[in-house]
């Protein structure tokens, strides 16, 4: 009897802990529209190194004043393999981001590449969009070398 209770309790706890990450994991197509391409320049206001996705937030000048946009990237591990470090995006850094917008039209997007405008450093964002090709030789545009 005791063994059964322990097993049920352990399973329940494991399920609760796993649910936090499961909620954050989703397919690209379920949340983002590959046809809603966007490119914008803004200032980094927050970075969250979380699994399964890293997020950063930028402030951009929109039609009605300042807007905040959230960009989803790959996992911290995947980003580090692409040359990212925890200090790559410091608060206040101006970046140019390319990506695709959320299907619901909110200020949320999936980032493909991030260009740090000062110095033109480009880093790929580990997008989960399967047909996106990380072309290291593609010209970096829209920055100040």
Partner 1 sequence: MFARFLMFLACLGFSATLLAQTGHPAKGSWSGNLQPASGQSARIRLLIDDNNGELSGKVNPGRNGIEMSKVELDSATWGLTIHATTPEGELVLTGTLSNLGSWSNRKYIGTFTQGSAKGNFEITLN
Kindly list the residues in this chain that would bind partner 1 in the complex (CB under 8 A).
Answer: 2, 5-6, 9-10, 13, 16-17, 20, 43, 45-46, 57, 59, 66, 68, 90-94, 118
Query: Using CA atoms, how far apart are residues 65 and 71, in angstroms rounded to an integer?
Result: 19
**Residue 81 vs 119, nearer CB to partner 1:** 119
- The SS3 assignment for 55 reads strand
Query: Using CA atoms, how far apart are residues 77 and 79, in angstroms rounded to an integer?
Result: 5
**Residue 28 vs 49, nearer CB to partner 1:** 49
Kindly state the smallest distance separating residue 92's Cβ from partner 1, in Å.
3
Contact 125, 114 (CB under 8 A): yes
Three-state SS string across 84-127, please? CCCCCCCCCCEEEEEEEEECCCCCEEEEEEEEECECCEEEECCC
**Residue 90 vs 134, nearer CB to partner 1:** 90
Kindly state the smallest distance separating residue 13's Cβ from partner 1, in Å.
5
Query: Using CA atoms, how far apart are residues 117 and 140, in angstroms rounded to an integer?
Result: 10
Kindly state the smallest distance separating residue 34's Cβ from partner 1, in Å.
28
Kindly state the smallest distance separating residue 65's Cβ from partner 1, in Å.
9
């Amino acid at each position: 009897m005791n063994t059964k209770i322990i097993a049920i309790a352990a399973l329940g706890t494991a399920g609760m802990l796993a649910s936090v990450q499961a909620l954050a994991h989703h397919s690209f197509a379920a949340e983002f529209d590959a046809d809603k391409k966007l490119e914008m320049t803004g200032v980094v206001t927050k970075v969250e190194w979380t699994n399964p996705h890293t997020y950063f937030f930028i402030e951009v000048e929109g039609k009605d004043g300042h807007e905040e946009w959230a960009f989803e990237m790959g996992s911290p591990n995947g980003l580090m393999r692409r040359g990212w470090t925890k200090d790559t995006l410091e608060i206040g850094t101006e970046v140019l981001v390319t990506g695709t917008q959320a299907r619901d039209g909110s200020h949320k997007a999936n980032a493909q590449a991030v260009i740090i405008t000062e110095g033109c450093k480009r880093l790929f964002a580990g997008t989960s969009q399967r047909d996106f090709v990380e072309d290291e030789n593609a010209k970096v545009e829209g920055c100040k070398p």
